Amino acid sequence: MNKPTILPSETSDAEMLAGVRRHLIEAEQFVPQPPRWTRTETASRVRPVLRSRMAFGGFAPLILIVVVVALAVGYYGLGSRPAGPGAAVPTTNLSGSVMEITYRLAPADGRQPSEADLTHVASALSKRLSFIFPLMVDAAGKPAPGQTTGYEVITAAPDEVVVRFQADYTLVDYTAVEGPLVMDADWIRASIGLTGVIEVVGLPVLPALGNLVAGQAPLLSGGDFDGWQASVGAGAEPDSYGITLTKAAAERLAAYALANPRQYLVVLVDGRVFATAPVSGPSSGSALTLPVGAGLSQQNAATLGLLLANGSLPTPVTEVSATLIGPSPMPRPSGPGSIPTPILAPSTSPGAQASQYAPSTAGATAATSPNLSPAAQASPTAASSGAG
């Protein structure tokens, strides 16, 4: 007769859940007693949301005001401001540790950039920085006064734009509920100088992030993108970000996914691999969903959000210099040339910049994408295991 085998004891689900419950109960100390119920008092704690109570007609006065202000600013304000050296958009008082980056506009069609080109690039860079900086808060969590504090953009004729921004703040992504994500001055440096041409291509093999992919006809490009949405925490598993698409683009993507079930969708920024996601099956939604993981870092997700929200630069720029001015609060050596390389540096070769957007006519991916990692080219299966 066989003796019963004694297995090593394993913790039961109930025991584990009881442990979790024991911890969760500690949250009770932070749950207040209900305030006295009156709709007045309860609702006064609700920040009013205009959208929920106003029909489109209600926005008419607001739109009128915005138009009038925009016209006034255009006529009397920024529009009449000289765009030569020293013209700042906007002017701010920077203090403490400041990063100064000088960008040079790439010659377009063999001609030197005009003053208008300089102004357009300065405006675009300013727009990107204004997207980043309004939420700057101080140590007490109070928003910084003014919506344009923290940066300045100055044109320097004939072909340079100087960007200065407060470098002693660190970006913390709270939508990544799995923990704070640190993005700092280096992230800004790596992000704002990108031209920001976003394309999505389909590839049979998984390219390495950062590689240049040239000569691929894009499946999706500029006009196909409708926006950017984060799906983190409560609503998704795993956390993911989505590039929302126009209806026609979504249909094109669905057709592609149906016909190419084993391929990879690759998001290119300025021709370089920025995010990847395997085609997981037929697509029916209106967004290209990119799960956070091996195929998309949180930093790149933030950069994609920045670029999609603010558009591409009208003229590519190259970084001439980057200098950290003033005290460095971070464990980072200061001075020109000592700043770490950006996550994805903008192309420094105008020739390469131009050629990487040349439309593809034919050819296998391996041939047209010489920068695919050897491992990826040799073993698509092994490479794909790291995706998304």
Partner 1 sequence: MVDLVDSNKGTGNVLELVGDSRAADATEDSFEALYRQRYRDVYRYALLMLRRPDEAEDATGEAFDRAYRAWQLGRKPAGPALPWLLLITRRLVIDKLRRRRLISWLPIGALGPRREPSEEPQTGRSEFWIWFEKFAQELPGRQREVLILRYQRDLDDESIGEIMGLSASGVRSLSARACATLRRNPEIWQ
Q: Which of residues 110-169 bind partner 1 (CB under 8 A)?
A: 132-133, 135-141, 144, 168-169
Q: Min. distance of Cβ 283 from partner 1 in angstroms?
A: 21
Minimum distance of partner 1 from residue 232's CB (angstroms): 6
Among 1, 2, 6, 32, which residue interacts with partner 1 (rule: CB under 8 A)?
A: 32
Contacts of 108 (CB under 8 A, 6+ apart): 117, 315
**Considering beta carbons, is residue 26 or 109 the nearer one to partner 1?**
26
Among 1, 20, 55, 362, binds partner 1 (CB under 8 A): 20
CB of 339 to partner 1, least distance (A): 16
Interface residue with partner 1 among 173, 186, 199, 270 (CB under 8 A) is: 173
Residue span 322-361 as binding mask against partner 1, x where in contact by CB under 8 A, dash where not = -------xx-------------------------------
Residues of span 239-258 touching partner 1 by CB under 8 A:
239
Instruction: Output 254 or 330, the one with its CB closest to partner 1.
Output: 330
> Considering only residues 45-74, where is the footprint of partner 1 by CB under 8 A?
45-50, 53-54
Task: Report the alpha-carbon distance of residue 93 to residue 163 in Å, rounded.
Answer: 13
Distance CA 86, CA 155 (A): 6
Q: Smallest distance, Å, CB 173 to partner 1? A: 6
3-class state of residue 27 by DSSP: helix
At 82, list the tokens.
């000289």
| Stretch in the footprint of partner 1 (CB under 8 A) among 11-19, 69-77, 352-360, 376-384 | 11-19
Q: Give the other-Cβ count within 10 Å of 36's Cβ.
A: 7
Cis bond before residue 238 (omega within 30° of 0): yes
H or E element: which one contains 259? helix 247-259
Q: Tell me which of 62, 72, 116, 172 binds partner 1, using CB under 8 A.
A: 172
**Closest of 288, 273, 293 to residue 229, by C-alpha:** 288
Identify which range of 105-113, 170-178, 205-213, 363-371 contacts partner 1 by CB under 8 A.
170-178
Residue with smaller CB distance to partner 1, 227 or 335: 227
| CB nearer partner 1, residue 44 or residue 349 | 44
4, 8, 9, 26: which one binds partner 1 (CB under 8 A): 26
d(CA 253, CA 260): 10
Size of the site for partner 1 (CB under 8 A): 79
Of the pair 107, 293, the CB lying nearest partner 1 is at 293
Decide: 157 and 84 in contact? Cβ < 8 Å: yes
Nearer to partner 1, 271 or 291 (CB): 291
- Window 180-239: residues binding partner 1 (CB under 8 A): 180, 182-183, 229-239
Q: What is each CA distance from 96 to 141, 271, 321, in whole angstroms?
A: 19, 36, 20
**319 near partner 1 (CB under 8 A):** no
What residues contact 262, with CB distance under 8 A and at least 6 apart? Answer: 204, 278, 279
218-225: Cβ within 8 A, 24+ apart: 218/268, 219/252, 219/253, 219/256, 219/265, 220/245, 220/249, 220/252, 220/253, 220/288, 222/197, 222/198, 222/312, 224/200, 224/248, 224/249, 224/252, 225/198, 225/249, 225/308
